[in-house]
Chains A and B, each alone.
Chain A
Amino acid sequence: MTWSPFSYIVTNLARFIRPDEVTFSGVNSTPPMLACLLAKRAYDFDFVYINVAGGVQPTPSKIPISSSDPVLSEGSTAIFANEDFYDLCTRGGMDLCFLGAAQVDGLGRTNVSAIGDWHNPKVRLPGGGGGAVMLPTARRAVTWRTEHSKRTMVEKLDFVTASGGMAGVVTPIAVFVKRDGRLALQSWHPEASLDEVVARTGFKFDATGAAPTPLPTAREIEALRSLDPSGQFERDANVALR
């Protein structure tokens, strides 16, 4: 089979979700939004899904283009709004938090602020949103990149927006996890290789025990298909393996 890089990212983000944990997806975060909804459909365990639209265990009637769309609080029995989920995180109550990144370094720190010098940016990026506060205070934080290259997976960040270290990073070709305070390769896309991941990564990493990523299960495939029946999210994401 071919495993599309889009499905690879969403499925592997979902695999970071654990039973009974409080798990959060935020703004500008379509893949984690889909991952949380996929996990609800594909896995037998329950977890507490909260999101930036204030939803607590929501049952949205449609899957929105915007991952902060208020439809994501539909079916919710509470509105747990922005101040609340940040405070939950800083007091240690957020088990898993999905956060965006433009650049990631070997320590799992992120830059979401600027390419080039912050004061004279080549590209002004969106900014980290929750990152600087949530990455160091969430029990685990996980990010994704739709491009895996030496300009996104870097030896040195142009700016440290958020520190604290990602517990996981998913790209179209690899899954990294935190080991001894650094990102280590857990697995690679079955159509890629360890050599390819090394060649396309700007930082050095431990690959002890790494192996091809287990293929998606029938339930994971079916869950993602049910969330994206027309393939619109996949087309919009426009992720390439290479």
Chain B
Amino acid sequence: MNKIMSLQEMVALVPDGASLALGGSFLHRGPFAFVRELIRQGKKDLEIIKQSPGYDIDILCRAGCVKKARAGIVAMEGNFGLAPWYRKAVEKKQIVLEEHACATLTAGLRAAAFGVPFQPVGGVHGSDLPALNKWASIKDPYGSGKDVWVIPSIQPDIAVIHVNEVNELGDARIYGTFNWDRIMTRAAKKVFVVAEKLETVESFQAQPELTMIPSFMTKAIAIVPNGAWPGSCWPLYEVDYPEVEEYMNTQGSLETHMRRAPELAR
């Protein structure tokens, strides 16, 4: 089965209302070309799952594609501060926010990855988050006397991961930190891979320990060089700060920013 397709074909596989776990963190190695294509195809009512989203959740809120966000910390980062359109969407109740700590979201993903209904997580005590989210705390059934918070399973429909290299079978690898991408791929029902570069199967066979996503888990592949723009993809390119600044201009037009996207230059 040929899994390699265009970005447009990949995004066409996403139904309205889908829950998407997006890889990377803040302005780094996010599947941003994929996110822009969601906007071009007018997707609606998406649920975005990510410990530290920024540009991705913000631009999707700006375009009105989001119904719900499950996140731990949302910001543009660097010197840009808060994510303005996301902030507005929450304040105006245009989207539903399920506020997590990054590690509680990870715990929910771990529950899904482990095939169990909930997952204990360390810490959390004294925070208002459990009451807000109606999380339960349970006694250690083995008698230590300690209580532990448990987070219900979070299973995304699709994990969308931007990687450095993929092969035609769908094996994928990331250089530098993989953030939370590994647990996202294990938790999700399906994995979509957007890659900077197509590499040979032989190169993966030579160093299989570098592979983060094995081919059988990958359902769709798109090759999109510079696809994490205007964010970074280590070690290939850095954040395009002037472009992020343009994006942040509330008087500016989203269309102008979208037209400069590298995925259109092919």
- Chain A interface (Cβ within 8 Å of chain B)? 27-28, 52-54, 65-71, 73, 79, 81-83, 86-87, 89-91, 109, 112-113, 118, 121-137, 159-164, 236
Contact = CB atoms under 8 A, between A and B. Distances in A.
Contacts of A86: 102-103, 106
Interface size class of B (residues with CB under 8 A): 35 or more
A83 B183 contact: yes
A158 to B, nearest CB: 10
Nearest to B101: A132
Given A69-B28, A87-B122, A132-B123, 6 more contacts: A69-B239, A83-B183, A124-B87, A127-B100, A128-B127, A236-B79
Given A68-B25, A121-B90, A81 B178 contact: yes
26 contacts: A27-B26, A27-B52, A53-B28, A54-B177, A66-B28, A66-B78, A70-B234, A71-B234, A82-B25, A86-B103, A89-B122, A122-B91, A123-B87, A124-B86, A125-B82, A128-B73, A130-B72, A130-B73, A131-B127, A133-B101, A134-B123, A135-B123, A160-B127, A163-B126, A164-B123, A236-B79
A116 to B, nearest CB: 9
A90 B51 CA distance: 17
B126 A124 contact: no
A42 to B, nearest CB: 25
Interface of B: 25-29, 51-52, 71-75, 77-79, 82-83, 86-87, 90-91, 97, 99-104, 106, 121-129, 132, 176-180, 182-183, 232, 234-235, 238-239, 241
Nearest to B130: A132
Contact of B122 (A69, A133, A162, A236): A133
A96 to B, nearest CB: 16
A122 B238 CA distance: 34
Nearest to B126: A163
Given A27-B25, A66-B77, A162-B127, A83 B106 contact: yes
A126 B127 contact: no
A90 B103 contact: yes
Tell me the interface secondary structure of chain B in the complex: loop
**Shortest 6 CB-CB distances between A and B: which pairs?**
A163-B126, A90-B122, A54-B177, A129-B73, A133-B123, A70-B234
A90 B228 CA distance: 32
A183 B99 CA distance: 27
Nearest to A135: B123
Contact of B82 (A126, A161, A164): A126
Contacts of B125: 136, 163-164
B129 A124 contact: no
Nearest to B132: A118
A236 to B, nearest CB: 5
A90 B103 CA distance: 10
B84 to A, nearest CB: 10
A109 B102 contact: no
Given A54-B176, A69-B232, A73-B177, A132 B77 contact: no
B53 to A, nearest CB: 10
B121 A90 contact: yes
Contacts of A126: 73-75, 82-83
A35 B94 CA distance: 39
Nearest to B88: A124
Nearest to B25: A68
B251 to A, nearest CB: 21
B242 to A, nearest CB: 12
A228 B26 CA distance: 23
Contacts of B176: 53-54, 70, 73, 79
